[in-house]
A and B are shown apart, each in its own frame.
Chain A
């Protein structure tokens, strides 16, 4: 390409028939080589993108999961932490039965149970309940949340309050529809 004459012949408009067919040869060579070189990448593209198109099923129907006996929740609204053991969790090729999949803070007032996902809505660290200040605190980036889950400090990096989930009391047990949510956005959108 550094030969000026060659450059000239390539950019010459009044090219001969031979030049034209030579151009075709060059274009074909580049095309064929590029197709061959890109083929392996193209072959793997769908498998790389599979997680984007795969429906994990978490939005379709979140099952009720039994958490704990109601007696384990004081009725003064003081929160307590509980593991969530899901009946079934699928991880790619493995299906786990009865496996701890996360944790929640539950607090009860009468028959009403509020559940907060332990994961901070900022970037997913586990929040702690602080009994002294009666609030929630994230030990990673110092977000603080009130007992109702709302962000209490204007300097808290979390864009929304703690994530609540549906709960019910049935047969003296607390049940929950356990879910994870997209971190670090103002809206609470389930992960799916």
Chain B
């Protein structure tokens, strides 16, 4: 072995290299506070390796980016773990950057003769942030798409060349293939190359000037190997553990629904950019994206000179603490404003629902060449929710919301439709108190109608007891997919109640040619009944002239037949939540 090493050393000088690398003197002994640079190098190494492995399955284009990330996340063996590690290590890098920077500032290691290295460090921070910004878009999900649109709109704020620069980065006017290919080239090529170059310079300069240690030295001088390396290794292991725990806890990185410019999503950047996001609520974008960053950048640039005096050094440390505290404060504000905003919560839940739904469809039917975004656009369940939200929810509700989880500001003026025609729903319908409540007809003219005032209210105790039986009958007519049908005998006995005991037939027809004054209940709540009803509630089979504001969606061409079928199927598909 030693002969081989002699041979190798003779040809390569490797012993000298290793010695040079390992036997760096650590004045004052190995310390925990020196571990951050090594942790960052380790984190970057992890990102290069995991990123390259992800690259093997990633396909950058508007039709394949989300789809290939979906494949990594849900199909490739252990792909979710690989992606999770890459995602959370990126976040860990930001935390480590701050720790490294603050250690350098507090120890005064940024001052002469280390100015140049300080600037290298700041440049490295910028490149790391750029890596994280470009990486956010690559899955091409709603979150990345809308947030990065905001970020690239900020580029246009650069004086004179801004709009041109924006076009170069976006690869055109609108977001598309060229945005992904350019962001990917930046993320996996240009920025890592810049980072490697800067790291080499950073480490070279660090070695040239050695570790900066405060006098008096806490301990005896020692060497990088093995004392400091052990500490560095333990710290790297801790970072690794944190990343693995986060990955396992959150089951990998999140993947939102595929990007869709026609499907809005409240853009939010990754948590470490939230302070900038929040700042833009208070200051014009030109200030937030150009003036303030340039001013801060310039100040940071001259900090090594400011720090040459003791007071200047104190100022510098104070400056960074203030910057950190300010950022933390703005981040907190951004989080708390979103938490208090019910609509934002609903938008996030809606996006989560869409993300889960599109994965469900993709796993069931696969993804067509046009991309996953078409899966959601064509999905009848998704369309049903959307049609309900846009057409029905200003009067009706679905589980108390608009069908997609958003609260509706207008007062409810028509019945709750979650679980429409189910046993629970019809039982309540035939209860006078429920009937006249806003949950059913409280907001309509029917509150004062014959059914309320002259029928339900007038029933005696014995008759009222029979109403749930009628509800059972009506619900059975609906043939809901989630309810068991009644036996023929049971149905006949219930029909007796309908015809004879309560004489509902006096106004409502079932399977007869009569001309009752109230809605025909033949096939009540069934798919056909609902479609016909929504098509034209003013038809004499239904409300006729008594109709109170319910639009004739089909007759007046407000919805196509297909759209009516979709919303009906959606309402009928699941029972109510409450």
Q: How far is the CA of A11 from the CA of B156 in the complex (A)?
A: 47
Report the minimum CB–CB distance from B174 to chain A (whole Å): 7
Task: Please state if B264 and A126 are interface contacts (CB–CB under 8 Å).
Answer: yes
Interface centre among B267, B390, B558 (most CB of A within 10 A): B267
- The complex places the Cα of A123 from the Cα of B344 at a distance, in Å, of 18
Size band of the interface chain A makes with B: 35 or more
Asked whether, in the complex, the Cβ of A49 is within 8 Å of the Cβ of B150, the reply is: no
Q: Is the Cβ of B558 less than 8 Å from the Cβ of A180? A: no
- Are B410 and A131 in contact (CB-based, < 8 A)? yes
Q: Judging by beta carbons under 8 Å apart, are B262 and A69 in contact? A: no
Q: Are A94 and B177 CB-contacts (below 8 A) given A131-B409, A184-B157?
A: yes
Q: A139-B266, A157-B284, A184-B285 are in contact. Are A125 and B146 (CB under 8 A)?
A: yes
A80: Cβ under 8 A from any B Cβ: yes
In the complex, whether B167 has a CB less than 8 A from a CB of chain A is: yes
Write out, one digit per residue, whether chain B residues 158-177 have a CB within 8 A of any chain A CB (1) or not (0).
00000110011011111011
Residue among A48, A71, A139 with the highest chain B CB neighbour number at 10 A: A139
Contacts of B167 on A, CB cut-off 8 Å? Answer: 51-52
Chain B residue at smallest Cβ distance from A83: B262
* A100–chain B nearest beta-carbon distance, Å: 3
Is A91 engaged at the interface, CB distance under 8 Å to the other chain?
yes
Main secondary structure of the interface of B (DSSP, over half): loop
The answer to whether B154 has its CB under 8 Å from any CB of chain A is yes
Whether A67 is near chain B, meaning CB under 8 Å from some CB there, is no
Tell me the bound Cα distance from A94 to B64 in angstroms: 12
Given contacts A51-B172, A139-B344, A139-B347, A183 and B156 within 8 Å (CB-CB): yes
> With an 8 A cutoff between CB atoms, is A28 at the interface?
no
**For residue A139, which residues in chain B have a CB less than 8 angstroms away from its CB?**
266, 341, 343-344, 347
Query: How far is it, in angstroms, between the C-alpha of A86 and the C-alpha of B154 when the chains are bound?
Result: 27
Q: Which residues of B contact A140 (CB under 8 A)?
A: 150, 266-268, 277
Q: Are A141 and B170 in contact (CB under 8 A)?
A: no
Q: Which residues of B contact A131 (CB under 8 A)?
A: 394, 409-410
In the assembled complex, which residues on chain B have CB atoms less than 8 Å from the CB atom of A118? 264
Asked if A35 lies at the interface with its beta carbon under 8 angstroms from chain B, I say no
Report the minimum CB–CB distance from A71 to chain B (whole Å). Answer: 5
Whether B164 contacts A128 by the Cβ 8 Å rule is no
A10 contacts partner chain B, Cβ-Cβ < 8 Å: no
Say whether A8 faces chain B, with CB atoms less than 8 Å apart.
no
Instruction: State the CA gap A149–B377 with chains docked (Å).
Output: 29
Residues of chain B at interface, number, CB under 8 A: 49
| CB-CB under 8 A for A103 and B262, given A92-B172, A94-B63, A123-B285 | yes
Q: Is the CB of A48 within 8 A of B168?
A: yes
Closest-CB distance, A123 to chain B (whole angstroms): 4
- Given A125-B267, A132-B409, residue A58 in contact with residue B173 (CB < 8 A): yes
Q: How far is the CA of A100 from the CA of B260 in the complex (A)?
A: 8
Q: A71-B556, A139-B343 are in contact. Are A123 and B150 (CB under 8 A)?
A: yes
Is B173 touching A122 in the complex (CB atoms < 8 A)? no
Asked whether B557 is an interface residue with its Cβ less than 8 Å from the other chain, the reply is yes
Can you list, as one digit per residue, whether each of A83-97 has a CB less than 8 Å from chain B (1) or not (0)?
Answer: 110000001111000
Which A residues are CB-close (under 8 A) to B285?
122-123, 157, 184
Name the distance in Å between A134's Cβ and chain B's nearest Cβ.
10
B431 at the interface (CB under 8 A from A): no
Give residues 18-63 of A contacting B (CB, 8 Å).
48-49, 51-52, 54, 56, 58
Q: What would 24 A/B residue contacts be, using CB atoms closer than 8 Å? A: A49-B168, A51-B178, A58-B173, A91-B176, A91-B177, A94-B63, A94-B176, A94-B177, A100-B263, A103-B262, A118-B264, A122-B285, A124-B149, A126-B264, A131-B394, A131-B410, A139-B341, A140-B267, A140-B268, A140-B277, A141-B280, A157-B281, A182-B163, A183-B153
Which B residues are closer than 8 A to A by beta carbons? 62-63, 146, 149-150, 153-154, 156-157, 163-164, 167-168, 170-174, 176-178, 260-268, 277, 280-285, 341, 343-344, 347, 377, 390, 394, 409-410, 556-558
Q: Other than A56-B174, A69-B558, A139-B344, give 16 A-B pairs with Cβ distance below 8 A.
A: A51-B172, A52-B168, A81-B390, A91-B176, A92-B171, A92-B176, A93-B177, A118-B264, A122-B285, A125-B146, A126-B146, A132-B410, A140-B150, A157-B283, A183-B153, A191-B173
Across the A-B interface, give the 9 residue pairs with the lowest CB-CB distance, nearest first.
A126-B264, A100-B262, A91-B176, A132-B409, A92-B177, A139-B266, A123-B150, A51-B167, A51-B172
Query: Which residues on A are within 8 Å of B, measured CB to CB?
Result: 48-49, 51-52, 54, 56, 58, 69, 71-72, 80-81, 83-84, 91-94, 100-103, 118, 122-126, 128, 130-132, 139-142, 157, 159, 180, 182-184, 191-192
